[in-house]
Amino acid sequence: MSRQFLPVSRRRFLQSTALGAAATVTGVLSAPAVLRAQGAPVKIGVLHPVSGALSYSGQQGRIGAVMAIDEINSAGGIKALGGAKIEPMLGDAQSTPEGGNAEVEKMNAASVAAIVGGYASSICLSASQTAARYDLPYIVDVGVVDSIVTRGLKNTFRFGPGFGVIAKTALDNLVTLNDQAGKPAKTVMIVHEDSAFGSGLAKLLNTQLPERGFEILETIPHPTPTRDFNNVVLKIKAQNPDLVIPANYYNEYVLLARTMQQQRVRPKGIYSVLGGAASSYKFVKEFPEAAQYIMDCNHWFDPKNPKALALKKKVEEKNEFYTYEVYMNYSCVLLLADAIERAAAADRAKIIAALEGSTFAGHVMPYGPTRFVNGQNQGAAPVNTQVLSNDIQVIFPASFASAKPVFPMPRA
């Protein structure tokens, strides 16, 4: 009874393990050749914060990336690799830079060819740095902090615009908008969340706006989350500025806009830069009155591109909102697939070289020609949007505009 679970003698055991090890070694060595012939799948890392504070954005980003991968695969995969399918390795950065790093390590160990994603600037910064140690190509999906592309990392590419470009565009367009309307706006109040994004923006606006002829009445910081905006709105009411510039995340943005509507505070314009909800279909759908006429300078799809509109339809059919995370990740995956196609290999160095020389045009963004300098796409640019009769329209630049701006907002 007690002996029956020892059927293998020690010698037999040693023999078989040695054989097994030998088989494994030969298997590994011969694998690439065999796989190439069969069009073996190309693994890419899809990294997003799908849990924790940023999980909504992370989940939206994942939707976009996975949709692009599905489209590529159903259209015959990577043709230069014999129709190889793209196999996503989904990672959760848990809304922290450390979480992002851990996933990059895992993805590297699983021999992915490249990584797309990150979402938050802080995650993008650390995850791309970790990937750089393995010469692993990293495409930043959103992360706008400028230092992401100024560290001289050869592996890091950002397809979308950085903060500097966005802020400059936003200010230029604000001046144009105001001039076109006969300069109705002179005074400004800024409401911003107090972390790096909101504070950085507020600081920039505080130096730039006075140079462009605006007077800043007050700058109001608030934490995330803020439970109640009545005090902030009271302050706005007391000072009665022409323009209110909010810089905060989705929930706070919505609360602020709702409270302003409730307290009957109607400045001549609400103009945001990377506003948390200002160009969100969800906000417009749920609070059409509070959202009406709000302007934003943000990431947006090209409203004249049929591919972008087809994607919008597809996303909305899945009962998801067509947010910028979706189409930016979608575009980034297509950019990567194009590079793998031209590299004709799942080799990391070759993919990096292909990305450096990319002139990819099959994306859905309103960008100029794709050209990477030090990892930053020079064609990337934000657009200005405005909420007009329950829809979001592009109002600047003229080449992509789908409507004329309404400013100052009409008195109800």
Partner 1 sequence: MLSPAILLAAVLNGLMTGAVYALVALGLTLIYGVLHIINFAHGALLTAAMFAAFFAHKLLGLDPYIAVVFVAPLFFLLGYGLQRFIIGPAAHGEDRNILLVTLGLAVVIENALLYAFRADTRTINLPYAFDVVEVGPAFLALPRIVAFVLAFAVALGLWLMMRWTDTGKAIRAVAKEKLGAELAGIEVAHIYAVTFGLGTACVAIAACLLIPSYYVNPHAGNAFVLIAFTIVVLGGMGSVAGALIGGLFVGVVESLSGYYLGESLGQISIFVMFILVLLFRPSGLFGERA
Footprint of partner 1 on this chain (CB under 8 A)? 51, 53, 55-56, 58-59, 194, 220-223, 225-228, 230-232, 234-235, 238, 250-251, 254-255, 258, 261-264, 286-287, 289
Which residue number, 232 or 278, has a Cβ lying nearer to partner 1? 232
With contact defined as beta carbons under 8 Å apart, do 199 and 192 qualify?
Answer: yes
With contact defined as beta carbons under 8 Å apart, do 369 and 381 qualify?
Answer: no
Structure tokens at 72: 């590529």
Which residue number, 254 or 352, has a Cβ lying nearer to partner 1? 254
Which residue number, 191 or 297, has a Cβ lying nearer to partner 1? 191
Nearest distance in Å: CB 120, partner 1: 14
Nearest distance in Å: CB 153, partner 1: 30
Nearest distance in Å: CB 50, partner 1: 8
With contact defined as beta carbons under 8 Å apart, do 50 and 59 qualify?
Answer: yes
Which residue number, 28 or 238, has a Cβ lying nearer to partner 1? 238
* Of the candidates 384, 380, 365, the residue with the CA atom closest to the CA atom of residue 327: 365
With contact defined as beta carbons under 8 Å apart, do 218 and 235 qualify?
Answer: yes
Which residue number, 264 or 411, has a Cβ lying nearer to partner 1? 264
Torsion angle of the four alpha carbons 323, 329, 377, 42, in this order, in degrees rounded to the nearest 10: -170
Nearest distance in Å: CB 274, partner 1: 18
Which residue number, 226 or 402, has a Cβ lying nearer to partner 1? 226
Nearest distance in Å: CB 238, partner 1: 6
Beta strands in 60-117 (DSSP E): 86-92, 114-117
Query: What is the Cα–Cα distance from 317 to 319, expressed in whole angstroms?
Result: 5
Nearest distance in Å: CB 95, partner 1: 9
β-pair partners for 272: 296
With contact defined as beta carbons under 8 Å apart, do 127 and 101 qualify?
Answer: yes
Structure tokens at 205: 């606006």
| DSSP-derived secondary structure letter, 386 | E
